[in-house]
Amino acid sequence: MQAVVLRKFGDPEVLRYEEVPTPIPGPGEVLVRVHAVSVNRTLVKKKRQDGGGYGVGLPLVLGVDPSGVVVAVGEGVTQPQRGARVAIIPMVGCGTCPSCQAGNETACRQLRIIGLHRWGGYAEYIVVPARNTFAIPDGLSFADATIITRHFPMAFGEARKAQLQAGEWVLVMGAAGALGS
Ligand SMILES: [Zn+2]
């Protein structure tokens, strides 16, 4: 497959379009043909420049929020099925610790993030755990699904934390990044 591979940190020219092996989904994983992925200020540009303090290992394929179509499934996967349109949540917990068992993978001490600690969506294909995929409703584009999946949870979480009620207004302090949207 073709992928944009980061082999050293630096300015945009360090990103190289390369031919790399198409990944094969293992048990519990699915192979997704990527249709959309975003460019993030922090999670893409900062990492490309110097790693951003995330413990990034090279070589790396960036892209934290791909969406696309499932084209193959690994052993034991019943959902999603081949042909499904899916968005991908980038947080990959260990799946076995108390936090993961409680459905709170973001608190997992072994949390890995797609596009930071494992290859991301700047490629034709990506392998991800099946549990990280979510069906895209009919009528919603891949691009919209990518942006909603990555940025809506942050804005929604902040609105919930502020105990926003129906009929109230929100002052947006900066029109940039997830908080600003
Ligand atoms: Zn865990």
Q: Separation of 111 CA from ligand 1 center, angstroms? A: 7
Q: Separation of 102 CA from ligand 1 center, angstroms? A: 9
Q: Worst-scoring range by mean pLDDT, 47-51, 57-61, 67-71, 91-95?
A: 47-51
Domain boundaries, the chain: 21-37+65-160
CATH class, 21-37+65-160 region: alpha beta
**H-type alpha helices, 24-176:** 47-50, 98-101, 142-161
Q: Separation of 104 CA from ligand 1 center, angstroms? A: 8
Per-residue pLDDT for 180 more than 60?
Answer: no
Q: Separation of 40 CA from ligand 1 center, angstroms? A: 25
Q: Separation of 67 CA from ligand 1 center, angstroms? A: 24
Q: What is the pLDDT of residue 63?
A: 93
Q: Give the pLDDT confidence of 102-120 residue by residue, as tens digits.
A: 988 888 999 999 999 999 9
Q: Separation of 97 CA from ligand 1 center, angstroms? A: 4
Q: What is the pLDDT of residue 146?
A: 94
- What's the mean pLDDT in 67-90? 97
- Nearest Cα residue to 134 out of 150, 118, 158: 150
Per-residue pLDDT for 2 more than 60?
Answer: yes
CA–CA distance, 133 with 117 (Å, rounded to integer): 18
> For residue 181, what are the CA distances in angstroms to 152, 172, 178?
8, 8, 5
CA–CA distance, 65 with 90 (Å, rounded to integer): 6
Q: Separation of 132 CA from ligand 1 center, angstroms? A: 14
Q: Which amino acid is at 113?
A: I
> For residue 87, what are the CA distances in angstroms to 2, 23, 31, 80, 136?
20, 18, 12, 11, 6
Query: Which of the pair, 153 or 102, is modelled with greater confidence?
Result: 102
Range among 89-93, 127-131, 172-176 rated most confident? 127-131
